[in-house]
Structure formats: structure tokens, C-alpha cells
Amino acid sequence: MTRKYFGTDGIRGKVGTFPITPDFMLKLGWAAGKVLAGCDGGKVLIGKDTRISGYMFESALEAGLSSAGLDICLTGPMPTPAIAYLTRTMHAKAGIVISASHNPYYDNGIKFFSAEGTKLPDDVEMAIEAEMDKEMVCNESASLGKAVRIKDAEGRYIEFCKSSIPYATSLNGLKIVVDCAHGAAYWVAPSVLRELGAKVITLGVQPDGMNINVEAGSTKPSNLQDAVKKEKADLGIALDGDADRVIMVDANGELVDGDELLYIIARDRQAEGVLNGGVVGTLMTNLGLEHALTNAGIPFGRASVGDRYVMEMLQNKGWILGGESSGHIICLDRTTTGDGTISALQIVSAMVKQGKSLRELLDGVSKYPQTLINVKMAEQRINVVDQPPVKTAVADAEAELNGSGRVLLRPSGTEPLIRVMVEGKDGKQVQSVAEGLADIVKQAVS
């Protein structure tokens, strides 16, 4: 069935432009409440990142849910994965996160979690969309929902994060720079690391509602790289605005992306005898990771781009570890969704346990040169990939690589972009092929 509102990662767009408007969020809260309430009502958690529009949408969703008879638990600014965890442990009907992740402050969006702390099933999303087409009818006063604020949400989540690594693990002696992107983890992520014993230097921990992701976090790691070198730190950790993604920086200031982090966690789990299967990546995962895992005797599978598709393949295969190059890593033996803080802790724990630096843990994996060019589109859903000139250009690019690399074109699931990705053994050739292909795509969307 065609979706009207939900994309691969919830509902997202520019604030003030449909559907990211207060009236839509009011009705969305009501529609979700009608689908989720059943016969016994129940409660829904609402969390948010640090965008200024979060206050407005929080109030609108609260009113809509209350009108449908559901109680509301408000957490305030909290990482997206924290809402997944709290939804499950507080036995709520669902969790809602108001966030546009790594997007600029003037965007916002909505993500839903099920009672189990996972993304909502497709049939529930479709039921909510169907309810949106109906007239909104408020419950009688006696059956309206109530709202409360959860005062200890941060502490609950901090303890959960710490429990994701062995109890005896101490980070004493480690100096860590953490960049929270002025986002949802600005307080909890540094607190987790400090409570485990690390000396923590913070960046991106002064949110003002409009500086989320601005020259900070996992999408803009240059300040973190500089800080790690200046502070002579052992490593750096960069989260995105809602803290479900992480990339890291080694002691030399060099980036360690999601593919490399997946390799470290997989090898560590393998050494412990608890990997239980293989690793799921995506169509964008670097060939170098696939080859390194294969050499280590670890199976590898590619899912469509998007954490929900990684999750689907993990569940279908019965595996526990998967993720994306962007740093959205899923450790199902630790939690139910991608969690930047918990993923970072798995890496730091491996460093402590093995007595190795972050760079030393990467022994055995070497990434192929990869070029990614984002081509802006005038419309979100224009079909570019199947246009004849583009298909011909892709075939020509693949012929030029002659089996020594890959070409991938795909529309972004969250932004009006076509992503042009080329990788192969020869870096100069990869760059040239990618630029030529991107030029053809630009002509097609202009």
C-alpha cells in the first residue's frame, strides 16, 4: 500500500510545511491514540531532541493523544534510543520521538516505537494513516488522558547504557572527547562516560534550540578531530542530533566510520564466542568491510539503506549485529534499536579488554576508496534512477570500473536528494566516475 505520510524513518520535513505543522501533529496524536488505545487505554511516552519546534509539537501531540483517551509521559530532551528503552521498561503502548535526527533545526519529524521498543510494524503505521482520513472526535471529559513528566528519565537511561558493558569495565585513565551535536544526548552521554571513570572533554553540549547539528556531531566531525589532537585524547565520540548514530576519531584525529565500528564489534563478539551468526550492512556498506569479515569467517548480508531494513534482515536471519556507514549500529544483544552511546561503549569496552588503541582494533580491515555525491532534487519523490540517460550513464560507469568496484544510485529516504555512490580499488578512477555520473543526474533533475 502507498504511504501518505510515513517514510523509511517516520515522518519528517520542514517546520511549518505540511505535514510538519501543529494541526497535523494534533490529529496525528489523536489518530495514533485511537489505533493504540484499544479497550484499555494505556500510556504513550513522548521524547524530543533540542529543536525549538519540539515544544510546539510536544504540546500538539499531547493534546491529540489525550483527546483519544491515552495518558502521556513526557521525558523532555532525550536520545531517540532512550525512548525505545523507556517505552519497553515502562510498559507503554508506544513511544514517540520528536526529532529530525541529523537534519538542520528548521526541520523536524516524528518517530514511533512499539511497546517492545522497536519501530512500529507497517500495519500499525497504515492503520494510523487510515485514521487520519477520518473526522477527529474528542472523547468525553471523563475519558480523556492525563499527562505527567518523568523526572528520572535521564538517570534510568544512564544506568541502562552502563549496563551494556561488563560491570567490572573501568574507563579510568582514558581521555575521551565527546561531541553531542547540541542535541538530545548533551547531558546523558558525557554523564555515562564520566560515571564509568573516563576523563571527558565535551563539545556540542550547549543547545539553544537552533544550533543542533551546526558544525558539530557525526555529520561535521572536524571540530572533534581537532579537539582530540589538541587535548591528546585517546579517542573522540561524535553523536548526531538524536544520538542514534555515532562515528569515532582515533588518537591521531582520523575518522572511524560506522563500517569500521561494525568490524570492531563483530570481531570482539566473535572472540568472545557470542556473535551468533553474521553481520548485516546495507547497499552503501564499503566493500572493504565485506571482504574483511569474509576473511575472518563472518557471514555478511546487504539490506536496503535504512535502519528498518537492517533490522528486518537481522530478524529474518536471527543475527544480532548490523548497521550503516553513517554510524547507525544495531546491537540486538544489548538493545532493540540503533543507539550511538551504547555502540560507542562497545568499542571502548573492547579497547579496555584487549588493551589496544582504537586504531589497533582496526587491524584486518581496509576500506576501498568511496565517493558519495549528493544531488539535490526539486521534488522529494521524482523518479530519476529509471530515466534512460541515467540508466545509460550507470551502465557506462560500471563498464569503466570493469568489475573492480560498485555503482549505486538511490533516493534519500529523508531528504530531497539522489545519492550517487561509486567505490573501487582505484581512488582517482572512483572520483572521476562519480563526478561524471553525478553530472548526468544533475541534468536529469534540473
Q: How far apart are CA 422 and CA 435, in angstroms?
A: 9
**How far apart are alpha carbons 112 and 7 in whole angstroms?**
12
Contact 252, 330 (CB under 8 A): no
CA dist 43 and 33 (Å) reads 9
Classify the phi-psi angles of 94: left when phi > 0, otherwise alpha if psi is within -120 to 50, otherwise beta: beta
Measure the CA–CA gap between 220 and 338, rounded to whole angstroms.
Answer: 20
Alpha-carbon distance of 31 to 80, in angstroms, equals: 22
Count the Cβ atoms, other than its own, within 10 Å of residue 35: 21
Q: Which three cell numbers stand for residue 375?
A: 544531488
Is 162 within 8 Å of 195 (Cβ atoms)? yes
Q: What are the angstrom distances between the C-alpha of 70 and each of 33, 40, 146?
A: 6, 9, 7
CA distance 425 to 423: 7
Rounded (10°) CA dihedral 37, 73, 77, 320: -60
Residue 179's beta-bridge partner residues?
Answer: 203, 238
Which candidate in 66, 67, 99, 101 is catalytic? 101
Nearest CA-CA partner of 73 in 147, 145, 144: 147
**Cell numbers of 373, please?**
555525491
For residue 274, the tally of other CB atoms under 10 A from its CB is 10
Cell numbers at 200, concatenated = 571527558
| Angle ∠(31,34,38) on CA atoms, nearest 5 | 155
CA-CA distance, 178 to 367, in Å (whole number)?
25
Q: Is 412 noted as a catalytic residue in this protein?
A: no
Residues classed as catalytic? 101
